[in-house]
Amino acid sequence: MRVTIREVAKRAGVSAATVSRVLNKPNLVEKETRRRVQAAMKELDFKPNAIARGLSSRQTDTLGLIVPAGITDFFFNELYQGIREASQSHNMRVLVFDSENSPERAMEGFYFLGQHQVDGIIFTSKMITEDFDPVIQRLGLPVVLVLAPNGAKTPIPSFDIDNVRAGFDVVSYLVSRGHRRIGMIAGKVPDTPWQQRLQGYESGLKHFGLPFDSQAVQTGEFSFDDGYRAMQRLLEKQADLQLTAVFSASDEMALGAMRCLYDNGLRVPDDMSIVGFDDVKVARMVVPRLTTVAQPFSEIGAQSVHWLMGALGRVITPTETGTYFLPHRFVERESVRTLV
Amino acid sequence: MRVTIREVAKRAGVSAATVSRVLNKPNLVEKETRRRVQAAMKELDFKPNAIARGLSSRQTDTLGLIVPAGITDFFFNELYQGIREASQSHNMRVLVFDSENSPERAMEGFYFLGQHQVDGIIFTSKMITEDFDPVIQRLGLPVVLVLAPNGAKTPIPSFDIDNVRAGFDVVSYLVSRGHRRIGMIAGKVPDTPWQQRLQGYESGLKHFGLPFDSQAVQTGEFSFDDGYRAMQRLLEKQADLQLTAVFSASDEMALGAMRCLYDNGLRVPDDMSIVGFDDVKVARMVVPRLTTVAQPFSEIGAQSVHWLMGALGRVITPTETGTYFLPHRFVERESVRTLV
DNA sequence: TTGTATGCGTTATCAT
DNA sequence: ATGATAACGCATACAA
């Protein structure tokens, strides 16, 4: 059917092993022989079978990526791009598995990727719990966490930003612009980045001597609609709250909040300032452009892939576990008003 | 290392072949034997090696997907999701290849996916030319085109919407809302969906007895910034043009156009009506919500995958080549004003 | 430097 | 219904 290594060998008058060598360790074969083999490959339009190669060498040059719910999701999108590029620069493929926001599916993901003999796994989802320990152990593959804290006992490196710090920074910025009544749209689930940002928000208030009002914090899951509803609730208490700014734990929720304000006849930033989080692609496309915190997606992608390559011994790197904090960046645009 | 079919066989007191059978053709093996084997598999936590399986059976249950430039791109995103879901429902994996907008890379894509022994290929990019013929022929794999016309000579089915018709529909809608001076932001490259939409726009004008003014058509590639600039050019000629509505060949460009209007102190839809194309996720998140043409992404994904499954003989379907037109849908939102 | 032989984990063919 | 045995296409230890 398709041309194999053997036919190339015959054509070049050498053994299959030699052909394999010019493919993998070209310098082990004499110049002239190599040339002949390469010529034969070209003539026959030979393309090595990646599957056979994977079976034989037990390495597929493929990284598995477990995402929580569709790389279509606003933000995993950007992250995926970062990981893809980093992988490509290391000559690696990436195989995506969508856990559909279910821990069980996420677990299946490990099995699935294991079956497909990926060389390493990047897990990026809201949470990884102790339940995953046995699965990961048995797999025996290097795993890194991305944008998620390690809730398992297995020591796994984690690449993330300092969410607490980021939350603090947002408050700090807002205060520097004269805001003193600041609300927040956070996430429900404990132990998530959203909660950490909330934590940073609280410590920010404290640091600047501002009162914390639990009414001023509304939660949502992540979506546009959640953001809308959270803002709606904030608005209902606005008589007491007197908010001048709201910090949303995600850009998508921020967009929902902005829409809600619009529907209530309020203008951003004139009547209410908004700060988002993520710096997704559309953040700069909306009116007003969204002031937000940029996550270093490509940097995170690069680092996590690089760590994996280190663990696989394909690159020299210290492969320590623990959390690697990468710097976030505050992006000032148009959605925050400076108060007198 | 990892547990293989042989160890399961030993444990169950049968041959490896039998284990393979309960995996693939369970009804060919006696109930009791099957039970024993399954028990053994469970006890040993056996997971079949997909790579070995692929090598032996010459089918990987994987579909290759060639995208033009990052599924991060606004719109391929939605399409990818459609294809992913359809694939999943057929128990297929999908391997993505990013051609980075280069025909050469796209060609490499076929080789790459071939090397990885995918069972079929979905090509979705701006263009497929005659240059691809030999490559596709040699691969010997079923290929379908998605959202792209077939410019090659090899008969390949294509799943698309009727872009000409869609362009016509937009004009028709605008006219029904009282607009008579309608501009367009189209695509540069000939033989693309963008050009077809332009064609529909022209025939729409003609049909309703409206004059066509080449000044009223500005081109861009696809991006937000392109849309912005195109609108800028339109505005410069607005004294002559007197446009009341602009049809953009993509939502992303429409967003750029809206921003441009905003920067020029114009309001949508009060001062200018805008219609986009694609119905990307953010179309309903911006202010005003974007009126647009929805492409049936999941339907397209489903159909193209289903065709492939037919070609692979895994499902009974007539596998004819030619273009399959799927219905687009006009989505009326807030960006078009009704004129008196 | 090159060739021979064997293995990777599974499926498929042919017996029994 | 089940078992031996030979592929699948390539990589690699070992020998030469």
φ/ψ region of A38 (left if φ > 0, alpha if ψ in -120 to 50, else beta) reads: alpha
In this structure, what token pair is assigned to residue B270? 């009060």
Interface of A to B at Cβ within 8 Å reads 1-2, 45, 47-52, 54-55, 60, 70-72, 74, 77-78, 80-81, 84, 93, 95-96, 98, 111, 114-117, 138, 140, 224, 252, 255-256, 258-259, 262, 281-282, 285-287
Handedness of CA A221, A226, A227, A232 (dihedral sign): negative
Consecutive 10-residue runs of chain B (340 residues): their mean pLDDT? 91 96 95 96 96 96 89 75 93 92 91 96 87 92 91 91 97 98 91 90 98 96 94 97 97 97 97 96 96 95 95 78 92 96
Q: Which residue is nearest to nucleotide D13 (CA to C1')?
A: A17
Within a domain: residue A104? Answer: yes
CA-to-CA separations, A188 to A158, A218, A319, B221, B245, in angstroms, rounded: 22, 9, 33, 41, 43
φ/ψ region of B178 (left if φ > 0, alpha if ψ in -120 to 50, else beta) reads: left
Within a domain: residue A54? Answer: no
Within a domain: residue A57? Answer: no
Q: What is the 3-state secondary structure (H, E, C) of A258-277?
A: HHHHHHCCCCCCCCCEEECC
Task: Give helix B16-24 / helix B31-44 axis angle, nearest 10°.
Answer: 100
Q: Are the CB atoms for B321 and B159 separated by under 8 Å?
A: no
Within a domain: residue B336? Answer: no
In this structure, what token pair is assigned to residue A255? 């967009």
Q: Which residues of chain A have a CB within 8 Å of the CB of B45? A: 138
CA-to-CA separations, B334 to A227, A287, B286, in angstroms, rounded: 20, 15, 10
Cross-chain Cβ contact A285/B256 below 8 Å: yes
A282 and A320 together in one domain? no
Cross-chain Cβ contact A117/B50 below 8 Å: yes
B276 and B178 together in one domain? yes
B288 and B186 together in one domain? yes
Phi and psi, residue A194, nearest 5°: -60, -40
Cross-chain Cβ contact A51/B48 below 8 Å: no
Phi and psi, residue A211, nearest 5°: -75, 145
Tell me how many degrees the CA angle A174-A179-A182 measures, rounded to the nearest 5.
Answer: 80
Within a domain: residue B330? Answer: no
CA distance A230 to A237: 11
CA distance A123 to A135: 13
A246 and A190 together in one domain? yes
In whole angstroms, D1 C1' to A59 CA is 37
B215 and B281 together in one domain? yes
Domain of residue A278: give its range.
163-294
Of A115, A138, A140, Cβ closest to residue B49: A115
Looking from the CA of B275 toward its CB, the CA atoms found within 13 Å total: 32
A182 and A220 together in one domain? yes
Strand D, nucleotides covered by protein (CB < 7 Å): 1-5, 7-13
Q: How high is the pLDDT of residue A125?
A: 76
b (16+ CB within 10 A) / e for A51-82: bbbbbeeeebbbbbbbbbbbbbbbbbbbbbbb
CA distance B256 to B286: 12
Cβ contact A56 with chain C strand, < 7 A: yes
B194 and B227 together in one domain? yes
CA-to-CA separations, B313 to B54, B86, B310, in angstroms, rounded: 17, 17, 5
CA-to-CA separations, A173 to A177, A181, A273, B100, B172, in angstroms, rounded: 6, 13, 12, 38, 49
Q: How high is the pLDDT of residue A92?
A: 95
Q: Which residues of chain A have a CB within 8 Å of the CB of B262? A: 287
Return contacts of B7-12, CB within 8 angstroms, 24+ apart: B7/B44, B7/B46, B8/B37, B8/B40, B8/B41, B8/B44, B8/B46, B9/B37, B11/B40, B11/B43, B11/B44, B12/B36, B12/B37, B12/B39, B12/B40
Cross-chain Cβ contact A49/B81 below 8 Å: no
A173 and A195 together in one domain? yes
Q: How high is the pLDDT of residue A77?
A: 80
CA distance B87 to B81: 10
Cross-chain Cβ contact A117/B286 below 8 Å: no
Please give the nucleotide, over all strands, whose C1' is closest to the CA of residue A47.
D9
Of B81, B116, B255, Cβ closest to residue A70: B81
Measured between CA atoms, how close is A182 to chain B, in angstroms?
A: 24
B128 and B189 together in one domain? no
Q: Which of residues 26-85 of B touch strand D (CB under 7 A)?
A: 28-30, 32-34, 52, 55-56, 58
- What beta strand segments (E) does chain B contain? 62-67, 93-98, 120-123, 143-146, 158-161, 182-187, 217-220, 245-248, 273-275, 292-294, 323-326, 329-331
Place of tokens 């999941």: B298
In this structure, what token pair is assigned to residue A172? 């700090």
CA distance A311 to A141: 9
Q: How high is the pLDDT of residue A188?
A: 83
Within a domain: residue A340? Answer: no
B301 and B156 together in one domain? yes
Strand C, nucleotides covered by protein (CB < 7 Å): 1-5, 7-13
A196 and A279 together in one domain? yes
CA distance A226 to B137: 50
Within a domain: residue A90? Answer: yes
Q: What is the 3-state secondary structure (H, E, C) of B71-107?
A: CCCHHHHHHHHHHHHHHHHCCCEEEEEECCCCHHHHH
Q: How high is the pLDDT of residue B259?
A: 98
A287 and A200 together in one domain? yes
Handedness of CA B23, B27, B33, B38 (dihedral sign): positive
Within a domain: residue B339? Answer: no
pTM: 0.92
Q: How many CB atoms lie within 10 A of CB A187?
A: 21
Cross-chain Cβ contact A55/B60 below 8 Å: no
- Which residues of chain A, if any, have pLDDT below 50? none
Q: How many CB atoms lie within 10 A of CB A14?
A: 19
Place of tokens 């132990």: A191
- What's the pLDDT tens digit per position in A13-56? 999 999 999 999 999 999 999 999 999 999 999 999 999 999 99
Q: Return the CATH number at B190.
A: 3.40.50.2300
Indicate the number of domains in chain B.
3
Name the residue in chain A with its Cα closest to that of B225.
A285
In whole angstroms, D9 C1' to B11 CA is 30
